[in-house]
Amino acid sequence: MDYINAISNDLRALGIRSGDVILVHSSLRSLGFVPGGPETVIRGLLAAVGEEGTLLLPALSYRQQPHHIHDTRHSPSNVGAIPEHFRLREGTERSLHPTHSICGVGPAVDALFQDHPLDTTPCGPHSPLNRMIDLGAKIVMLGCGLRPNTTMHALEEYVVPPYLFGPECEYTITDAEGRTYRKVYTRHGFQGWAQRYDRVRELPRTDFLTAGYVLEAETFILETQPLREAVLAKLRENPLFFVDRVPA
């Protein structure tokens, strides 16, 4: 079996096209046995979008230790084997943010990443998570369900529901050129709340959502522009729709 082509073909069957910008959240285990592991998966993703497409994966490092020291060259991603392999892969670029950076390869990367250092919140207006929506990007939830959808944080920042932000923190940041500086960011809150981003399936419109399988992994494709419209409408109606209160 040609696993690279199988992954690419399964994604194409779900609506991924050459030239697409895609952000992928992933679970390697969900795919079943894949010879070559994360590298095979990444090659399948790249084959699906082609040379004119752009592949993005989260490189979130909010669990780094010490938590206030971030080196974009060395701080690992804490969201799984595929993103960490992608971060370390030759040719991958990483946006500059102490907790919510994004890694990417492809022609849209420069436009998506160049202003990320200007943000002062986890998923602000300069984040690739925001800018990719204007490019008509697609989100691929590869075997991980709908809950770990970091783009929802970018949409929450439009409305700022009461659970979203927590305290400020001064970070010591080292960029890709080895320059070190300090900057204050507002961190996420969420104390006492559980994220329920799977509730996008309960919105009045779900035309942004396609479901199917890539190998053995249940996979969801989300079109970001209609997703933004539907999510913002619901958040403005009910700011607590995408969270549950955690019992004390």
pLDDT tens-place string over residues 69-82:
999 999 999 999 99
Is pLDDT above 80 for 224? yes
pLDDT at position 247 is 83
Average pLDDT over residues 17-27: 98
What distance in Å separates the CA atoms of residue 235 and residue 161, rounded to the nearest whole number? 8
Q: What is the mean pLDDT of the chain?
A: 97
What distance in Å separates the CA atoms of residue 150 and residue 197, rounded to the nearest whole number? 9
Contact 210, 22 (CB under 8 A): no
Number of H helices, E strands in the chain: 7, 12
Q: Is the dihedral of CA 10, 11, 16, 19 positive or negative?
A: negative
The two structure tokens encoding residue 203: 């919105």
Q: Which of 120, 111, 128, 139 is nearest to 226 (CA)?
A: 139
State the pTM of this model. Answer: 0.97
Q: What is the pLDDT of residues 92-130, one digit of tens each?
A: 999 999 999 999 999 999 999 999 999 999 999 999 999
Q: What is the pLDDT of residues 118-174, one digit of tens each?
A: 999 999 999 999 999 999 999 999 999 999 999 999 999 999 999 999 999 999 999
pLDDT at position 129 is 98
Q: Which of 192, 190, 53, 189 is nearest to 112 (CA)?
A: 53
